[in-house]
Homo-oligomer: A and B are copies of this chain.
């Protein structure tokens, strides 16, 4: 951790997990951000001990996270924390003048929705100031806020595919979203579910029609379009480390829709969206900030097929893009666009 006056000092709080690692990896080489503070629950360890692959690449002290200390050295803080823990830090940091990109769910939802699906909110004051960090839709607001709620991984991939069609979808019928995620999305903590033997050569759905990302998708569709859509979400875990694919099924109001034309027009100036004429493969976006989208209409039935890297576009690289916008930098500065393929 060097001190470079031309760079903006940032803090990574919650450095132990996968999204913490991805943040570090992105920030190490970022041309305008400088890692000034790294925190986790306990501290007293170095980054290369937490993440051995960083050996000889980057070495920083990991401290027991302390909002006051963070505020002394950092202008922007990335919070890669569980929900509830996150809001307690965000609240303090905002008061101390630190900009916050919160990767948890704490500021993504309206108060009622949040409290219904998560827990009591302890920082109601800042909810109205938070901006949902989907740059393609909220770029201007992100520029002017000091609190970005970084979207969930599933909502990111789903919304980027569906939002362009809000005017066309027949809201009297349900939207069915069949989602598939790599295991990194389940976090670093070991459990019977994440044991290699449980995951390998297997696939299973979890929390069908009751996952917390369902209300997030629904609420954002409402905010964007003013309409109430009936969103039904079934996520699956895949024997894959990284990546996420969404298959969305719905009805449109009229036949004859050309979905690729709609997508191309909608995203014509967007560098982080790729439109395909054939079904996408998940791996082509792994390692990048791209959201890849294919869509097809048969009669009134619309099928949307989108993919992202769940811990980059679905978390850490989107967070850095948001920080870029908040700090007045070019949005794609330091953002990865070259996939890990092969």
List residues of chain A with CB under 8 Å of any chain B CB.
18, 21, 25, 28-29, 51-57, 173-174, 176, 178, 180, 182-184, 188, 190-192, 194-206, 208-209, 230, 232, 234, 236, 238-243, 245, 247, 249, 251, 271, 274, 276, 279-284, 286-287, 290, 296, 298, 301, 303, 305, 311, 337-342
- Report the 3 A-B pairs with minimum CB-CB distance, sorted nearest first: A176-B249, A190-B190, A204-B281
Judging by beta carbons under 8 Å apart, are A286 and B209 in contact?
A: no
User: Which residues on the B side are within 8 Å of A25 (C-beta)?
Assistant: 338
User: Which residues on the B side are within 8 Å of A240 (C-beta)?
Assistant: 200-203, 239
**Contact pick for A197, options B18, B57, B245, CB 8 Å:** B18
Judging by beta carbons under 8 Å apart, are A184 and B197 in contact?
A: yes
Q: How far is the CB of A280 from chain B (nearest CB, A)?
A: 7
Whole-angstrom CA separation of A143 from B300 in the bound complex: 42
Whole-angstrom CA separation of A183 from B201 in the bound complex: 11
Whole-angstrom CA separation of A197 from B340 in the bound complex: 12
**Contact pick for A201, options B56, B178, B241, B337, CB 8 Å:** B241
Whole-angstrom CA separation of A341 from B52 in the bound complex: 10
Q: How far is the CB of A312 from chain B (nearest CB, A)?
A: 11
Given contacts A234-B247, A241-B201, contact A57 B337 (CB under 8 A): yes
> Closest residue to A172 on the B side, CB-wise?
B173
Given contacts A281-B203, A301-B174, contact A195 B197 (CB under 8 A): no
**Contact pick for A56, options B190, B204, B239, B271, CB 8 Å:** B271
Q: How far is the CB of A189 from chain B (nearest CB, A)?
A: 8
User: Which residues on the B side are within 8 Å of A286 (C-beta)?
Assistant: 201
Whole-angstrom CA separation of A194 from B189 in the bound complex: 11
Judging by beta carbons under 8 Å apart, are B201 and A190 in contact?
A: no
Judging by beta carbons under 8 Å apart, are A201 and B279 in contact?
A: no
Whole-angstrom CA separation of A21 from B55 in the bound complex: 27
Judging by beta carbons under 8 Å apart, are B201 and A199 in contact?
A: no
Judging by beta carbons under 8 Å apart, are B208 and A283 in contact?
A: no
The CB with the most chain B CB atoms within 10 A, among A25, A29, A339, is that of A339
User: Which residues on the B side are within 8 Å of A238 (C-beta)?
Assistant: 203, 238-239
User: Which residues on the B side are within 8 Å of A296 (C-beta)?
Assistant: 208-209
User: Which residues on the B side are within 8 Å of A174 (C-beta)?
Assistant: 249, 251, 301
Q: How far is the CB of A162 from chain B (nearest CB, A)?
A: 15
Given contacts A194-B190, A203-B238, A238-B238, contact A53 B283 (CB under 8 A): yes
Whole-angstrom CA separation of A206 from B279 in the bound complex: 7
